[in-house]
C-alpha cells in the first residue's frame, strides 16, 4: 500500500516523457495520380526519393522548408502499388511515418498505392475473401532453423470440409521474404477477385521463403541455394502442406510458379519433377545458366514433355534487365518444339508486372482439358 501513491505520482510523469507521434503526412496521394513524399530531417544536407517506377538508379531531389521538412511531388503515376525509399545524406531508409512497409531479406522499403477506378484486380473489392495463414516450421533440412510459410486458402475452405483443393507453389524473388507475394504482390486479393468473377479454380497457394542459404552469403554458398531450397521444399514444405491442408492428390493438381529468382526455381524444380507438376509459370525469371544442359533429356523428348505439361507460361517485360534471358528461353523452347506461352509485355522488374502476370496465369490453372498457348 505504501507504494501506491508513488505509482500514481510516477504515471503522469512517465506519460509526459513519452515522445509525441510525428503528424507528418507521407506519402500523400492527390487527385490526378500525383504523390507528395515528405521527410522530417532538419539537420540533413541532402534528401532524395527513389521509386521502383523510376529507371535504374533514378532518384528525385527533395526540397527542405523552414520547418526542416523535405518534400517533392511526383507523377502522375499509373495505378499500382509502388516501392520507394529515401536517401538521407547517402543512407537509404524507409519512410518513417508510413505504416505500409515492404519487408525484405535486407533493408526495407515503403509502399504507396495509386488506386484504380474501378478497382483493379489487385485491389480489395467487396467480395468473399480467403485467408492467409503463417505456418511456423522447424526445418529438418536447414539446420533446425524455424521458418515461416505463408499459405492462402480460398473463400469457403473452412466450410467445405470434404472438398480437396489443387495447390500452387508460388515463389518470391531474391532479397524478398515469404510474405512478399502477399504484402506487395496482393496475391490473395487477386485470387479472391478472380474467384468472385468465376475466372479461376479455387486453389491453395503455398508461399515459402526461398533463401535456403542466407541472403548476402558468400558467392560459393549462394551457388547451393537452388539445390538446397528444392530439398527443403520436398522434405519440409510439401509434407507440412499435405498433412495440414486438404490437398487434391496427383500431378494434375499441382502447379509451380515464381518471379525472378523464384521463377528460376520454378523452372528448375518443375522441369526436374514433371511427375509431380502439370503446370509451370516463370515471371521475369532468373533462368539458370545450365538449364539447357541440365534438362537436355527433357528438352530432347518433346513428345513426352508436351504430354506431361498442361501449361508452361513464361512472361517478362521488355524493359526488364532480365529480358534477354527470358527471350533466349523462349527461343530454346521453340527450337525444341516444347509447347509454351511467351508473354512479352511492357514493364521492368517490379511487382507492377508480376501482379498482372499472376492475374493472367492463375485462371489457366487446373482447368479440365485446358489448351496450351
Residue 12 lies in a domain: no
Residues 104 and 135 in one domain: no
Q: What is the pLDDT of residues 137-152, one digit of tens each?
A: 999 999 999 999 999 9
Measured distance CA(226)–CA(215) in Å, rounded: 12
Cell of residue 144, nine digits: 533446425
- CA distances, 4 to each of 7, 9, 10, 16, 17 (Å): 5, 9, 10, 19, 20
Residues 155 and 272 in one domain: yes
Q: What is the mean pLDDT of residues 168-194?
A: 97
Residue 10 lies in a domain: no
Measured distance CA(58)–CA(289) in Å, rounded: 29
pLDDT classification of 373: cutoffs 50, 70, 90? very low
Q: What is the pLDDT of residues 49-106, one digit of tens each?
A: 999 999 988 999 999 999 999 999 999 999 999 999 999 999 999 999 999 999 999 8
What's residue 222's pLDDT? 81
Residues 162 and 98 in one domain: no
Measured distance CA(171)–CA(270) in Å, rounded: 12
Number of domains in the chain: 2
Residues 193 and 87 in one domain: no
Residues 281 and 318 in one domain: yes
Residue 122 lies in a domain: no
Residues 255 and 289 in one domain: yes
Residues 78 and 141 in one domain: no
Residue 373 lies in a domain: no
- Please say whether the beta carbons of 95 and 80 come within 8 A: no
* Rounded percentage of the chain residues whose pLDDT exceeds 70: 94
- The lowest-confidence range among 1-15, 108-122, 253-267 is 1-15
Residues 81 and 206 in one domain: no
pLDDT classification of 6: cutoffs 50, 70, 90? very low
Domain boundary among 81, 114, 147: 114
Residue 25 lies in a domain: yes
Q: What is the mean pLDDT of residues 315-325?
A: 96
Q: Residue 242: give its domain's CATH number.
A: 3.40.50.1820
What's residue 11's pLDDT? 53
Q: What is the pLDDT of residues 339-354, one digit of tens each?
A: 999 999 999 999 999 9
Q: What is the mean pLDDT of residues 164-173?
A: 98
- Is residue 3 pLDDT above 50, yes or no? no
Closest C-alpha among 271, 280, 286, 361 to residue 323: 286
Q: What is the mean pLDDT of residues 194-218?
A: 94
Measured distance CA(194)–CA(273) in Å, rounded: 28
- Is residue 279 pLDDT above 90, yes or no? yes
How many Cβ atoms from other residues are within 10 Å of residue 124's Cβ?
Answer: 13
Residues 192 and 280 in one domain: yes
Q: What is the mean pLDDT of residues 325-337?
A: 97
- State the greatest distance between any 2 C-alpha atoms of the chain, in Å, as a whole number: 87
Cell of residue 49, nine digits: 526519393
Residue 4 lies in a domain: no
Helix orientation angle between 261-272 and 225-232, rounded to the nearest 10 degrees: 60
Mean pLDDT of the chain: 93
Residues 141 and 78 in one domain: no
Closest C-alpha among 82, 83, 91 to residue 48: 91
Q: What is the 3-state secondary structure (H, E, C) of the chain?
A: CCCHHHHHHHHHHHHHHCCCCCCCCCCEEECCCEEEEEEECCCCCCEEEEECCCCCCCCEECEECCCCEEEEEECCCCCEEEEEEEEECCEEECCCCCCCEECCCCCCEEEEEECCCCCCCCCCCCCCCCEEEEEEEECCCCCCCEEEEEEEECCCCCCCCCCCECEEEEECCCCCCCCHHHHCCCHHHHHHHHHHCCCCCCCEEEEECCCCCCCCCCHHHHCCHHHHHHHHHHHHHHHHHHHHCCECCCHHHEEEEEECHHHHHHHHHHHHCCCCCCEEEEECCCCCCCHHHHCHHHHHCHHHHHHHCCEEEEEEECCCCCHHHHHHHHHHHHHCCCCCEEEEECCCCCHHHHHHHHHHHHHHCCCCCCCCC
Measured distance CA(102)–CA(264) in Å, rounded: 22
Domain boundary among 67, 83, 114: 114
Residue 234 lies in a domain: yes
Domain boundary among 69, 88, 114: 114
Measured distance CA(365)–CA(247) in Å, rounded: 15
What's residue 50's pLDDT? 98
Residue 121 lies in a domain: no
Q: Residue 63: give its domain's CATH number.
A: 2.60.40.10
Q: What is the pLDDT of residues 219-241, one digit of tens each?
A: 878 888 999 999 999 999 999 99
Residues 167 and 311 in one domain: yes
Cell of residue 245, nine digits: 491442408
Full residue range of the structural domain in which residue 49 is found = 19-114
Residues 105 and 173 in one domain: no
Amino acid at each position: 500500500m505504501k507504494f501506491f501513491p508513488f505509482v500514481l505520482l510516477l504515471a503522469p510523469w512517465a506519460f509526459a516523457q513519452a515522445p509525441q507521434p510525428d503528424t507528418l503526412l507521407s506519402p500523400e496521394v492527390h487527385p490526378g495520380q500525383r504523390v507528395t513524399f515528405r521527410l522530417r530531417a532538419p539537420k540533413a544536407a541532402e534528401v532524395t526519393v527513389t521509386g521502383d517506377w523510376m529507371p535504374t538508379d533514378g532518384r528525385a531531389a527533395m526540397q527542405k522548408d523552414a520547418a526542416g521538412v523535405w518534400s517533392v511531388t511526383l507523377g502522375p503515376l499509373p495505378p499500382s502499388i509502388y516501392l520507394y525509399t529515401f536517401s538521407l545524406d547517402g543512407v537509404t531508409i524507409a519512410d518513417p511515418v508510413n505504416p505500409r512497409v515492404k519487408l525484405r531479406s535486407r533493408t526495407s522499403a515503403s509502399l504507396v498505392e495509386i488506386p484504380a477506378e474501378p478497382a483493379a484486380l489487385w485491389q480489395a473489392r467487396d467480395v468473399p475473401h480467403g485467408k492467409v495463414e503463417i505456418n511456423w516450421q522447424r526445418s529438418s533440412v536447414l539446420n533446425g532453423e524455424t521458418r515461416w510459410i505463408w499459405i492462402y486458402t480460398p473463400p469457403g475452405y473452412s466450410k467445405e470440409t470434404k472438398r480437396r483443393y489443387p495447390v500452387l507453389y508460388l515463389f518470391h524473388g531474391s532479397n524478398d521474404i515469404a510474405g512478399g507475394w502477399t504484402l506487395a504482390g496482393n496475391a490473395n486479393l487477386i485470387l479472391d477477385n478472380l474467384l468472385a468473377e468465376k475466372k479461376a479454380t479455387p486453389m491453395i497457394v503455398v508461399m515459402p521463403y526461398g533463401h535456403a542459404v542466407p541472403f548476402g552469403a558468400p558467392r560459393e554458398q549462394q551457388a547451393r541455394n537452388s539445390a538446397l531450397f528444392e530439398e527443403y521444399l520436398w522434405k519440409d514444405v510439401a509434407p507440412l502442406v499435405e498433412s495440414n491442408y486438404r490437398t487434391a492428390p496427383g500431378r494434375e493438381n499441382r502447379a509451380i510458379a515464381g518471379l525472378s529468382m523464384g521463377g528460376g526455381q520454378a523452372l528448375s524444380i518443375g522441369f526436374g519433377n514433371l511427375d509431380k507438376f502439370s503446370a509451370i509459370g516463370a515471371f521475369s525469371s532468373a533462368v539458370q545458366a545450365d538449364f539447357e544442359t541440365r534438362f537436355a533429356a527433357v528438352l530432347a523428348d518433346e513428345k513426352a514433355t508436351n504430354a506431361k505439361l498442361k501449361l508452361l507460361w513464361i512472361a517478362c517485360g521488355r524493359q526488364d534487365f532480365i529480358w534477354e534471358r527470358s527471350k533466349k528461353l523462349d527461343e530454346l523452347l521453340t527450337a525444341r518444339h516444347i509447347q509454351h506461352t511467351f508473354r512479352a509485355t511492357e514493364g521492368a522488374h517490379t511487382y507492377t508486372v508480376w501482379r498482372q502476370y499472376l492475374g493472367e496465369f492463375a485462371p489457366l490453372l487446373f482447368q479440365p482439358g485446358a489448351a496450351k498457348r
